[in-house]
Structure 1
Amino acid sequence: MDDECIHGLEGKLCALCYPKVVTEPLVPVKKTRAPKLSSLRDPLPTAATPPARAARPVRVAGAPRPVRAEKASTDNVDEQRVYHLTHISNLAAILRDGCLFANAALTTRPAVDISAPATRESRRDALVAGTERSVAEYVPFFLSPNATVWESIRAESTDPRLALDAHGSEAFAFVMLVSTVKKINDGLAAVTDASTTDDETPLVPSLVAVTNGDAAGSLTRFGATPATAERMLQTLRAEADGAMMLEAELLVPDAVPMELVTLIGVCNDNVRETVRGILKASAFKPKVAVYPPWFHTSADAE
């Protein structure tokens, strides 16, 4: 076949006989990616609505760290500090006696008496549960350096338990005689052992008592045996807000020898030097430490 087309065009390709092939432009196909693994997971919570936090219990300053109730049975109460408050004017006489005497055993009143006459009378009338002894026959200790009676003195607020002398004294004029439950228990056991000979029937050891409130209060509960005193301490130390610790007392029968006092807490350096001067004439050499928080009101601490 020659190259002549029916339209009379020679040597050329007739556009009518041989039209150009028109190809449609390719439509790009959009590739779909496989979803990421993270998009298959459950959606995470948004930061716009954080989970509500449970309210934290308010802890009283100076109080010991709370112990969980389920661990109360294993709480070592021996480490619990106890505090006896006295005016610095009374310290020299206490050192001469060599003891802190129970109120009922005192032959003369202290130079500065903290307890009001009505308080002394109510403690003579109140009996330690499980015993035939009055509260006045025991030396009282606080279980917290922020006990409510002491707070009343620090804040110069009215408290019927306090004498006018105490109300009229500045907080820095007082000192804290500090020991521990273990130190006192060991000291009482040593006194009992020294009082017993091979020919004698062993004496029943003197026992400390622990209260959950003012020892002269009508609703106050006592732990007056080794087991009940320990349980009472565990309960007090396990309390979340420490409120009962501010009212509680540890009671030591008759007298506490000064060698069981391991620390004297004071307000400032000037008082420390005064106390050290008083101690020079004494055989007892407890540590004297400046610790201002013990002598400031709770309002000041906040």
Structure 2
Amino acid sequence: MDDECIHGLEGQLCALCYPKVVTEPATPVKKTRAPKLSSLRDPLPTAATPAARAARPVRVAGAPRPVRAEKASTDNVDEQRVYHLTHISNLASILHDGHLSANAALTTRPAVDISAAATRETRRGARVTGADRSVAEYVPFFLSPNASVWENIRAEQADPRLALDSHGSEAFDFVMLVSTVKTINDGLAARAAAPTDADDDDEAPHIPSLVAVTNGDAAAPLTRFGATPATAERMLQTLRAETDGTMLLEAELLVPDAVPMELITLIGVCNDNVRATVRGILKASAFKPKVAVYPPWFHTAADPQ
């Protein structure tokens, strides 16, 4: 039997009898798969490309987000909240009057007066640049719930502007009456449009007073004012554009003559007990603003939050 294999194939190699020799590679090659990255997130950093973290500037609690200077002209200042501080003992009489009155218009002092007598006298003598009116003819509002005067009350620190005498007031004895720039301006516009007895006279038409914005204590000699719609808006934009918000701690928004209570949209209080007391006082009035507990407004900046 010459070249015949067991499978009967002659003259040719049988694949079953003489299989090909297969050599294995020395090192197995593993298939690699490219990492799949989500389209909604950046790739994770590697050791060669560590993640870079930009340092965040320190901001004052309650201050609005900073606005880049080059975009300040597009900042919508209408959203800026404004805050009027009063002792809870004054709330019932304010609701009875139906408005917050400027200091110069008060015929009787509040049950608990925050301002020192010297402060009231200084504000009577100080003039609002561009409006030819006394600072005392305006209702003052803070532009931050952490305004420096309020911080000194919370921290029980001496401040020549304050008259916290024998009443022994604590921070939780106060309430914050809150509105916004838009609400205040809309309210003043409605008041200016309302007909008055003077409209029937032959005198010159009445020019309504407008809000004023300051970059510091309104009675301080170096304080700047924005007392027209354009200058007030620019002043607010400048204050809101500041990175750390410290200028907001001294600034004021001044509303001429009086602020109707319907323009107060929120009353901020320290705790549930004070909220219950405020709601009880509101029951006797026609005004129903929201009453919200917000403890950070009533703790000194040095306290842990």
1:246 partner letter: L
Matched, 1:188 2:188: yes
Q: What are the equivalent positions in structure 2 for 1:73-92 lying under 5 Å apart? A: 73-92=73-92
Structure 1 partner of 2:248: 245
CA offsets per residue over residues 194-250 of structure 1, 9 Å max, x none?
A: 135588764212200000000001111000000000000000000000000000000
The counterpart of 2:290, out of the listed 263, 287, 292, is 287
Is structure 2 residue 177 aligned with structure 1 residue 177?
yes
The structure whose Rg is larger is: 1
Q: Which amino acid aligns with 2:255?
A: V
Q: Secondary structure at the match of 1:177?
A: strand
Instruction: Determine the structure 1 residue equivalent to 2:264.
Output: 261
> What is the one-letter code of the residue matched to 2:77?
V
Amino acid at match of 1:100: L
Q: Does 1:152 align with 2:155?
A: no
Aligned length: 258
**Alpha-carbon distance between aligned partners in 1 of 2:109 and 2:117, rounded to the nearest angstrom:** 11
Equivalent pair of 2:112/2:167 in contact (CA under 8 Å): no
CA contact (8 A) 2:239 2:245 kept: yes
Q: Which residue of structure 1 lines up, in the alignment, with residue 224 of structure 2?
A: 221
AA in 2 matched with 1:232: M
Q: Which range moved further: 188-197 or 72-81? A: 188-197
Q: Does 1:275 align with 2:264?
A: no
State the SS of the aligned residue for 2:60. coil
User: 1 CA distance for matches of 2:245 and 2:158?
Assistant: 23
Could you list the per-position Cα deviations for residues 168-212 of structure 1 after superposition, in whole angstroms to 9, with x for gaps in the alignment? 310000000000101111111101111355887642122000000
What's 1:212 paired with? 215
Please give the residue correspondences for 1:1-302 in structure 2 after superposition, counting only pairs within 5 Å: 47=47, 55-165=55-165, 168-195=168-195, 202-301=205-304
Secondary structure of 2:176 counterpart:
strand
What is the CA–CA distance in structure 2 between the aligned matches of 1:103 and 1:286, rounded to whole Å? 23
What RMSD over aligned residues (CA atoms) do the two structures have, in Å?
Answer: 2.1
Determine the C-alpha separation between the residues in 1 that align with 2:48 and 2:209.
Answer: 63
TM-score of the pair, normalised by structure 1: 0.81
How does the TM-score come out when normalised to structure 2?
A: 0.80
CA contact (8 A) 1:101 1:255 kept: yes
CA contact (8 A) 1:207 1:225 kept: yes
Larger deviation, residues 135-144 vs 57-66 = 57-66
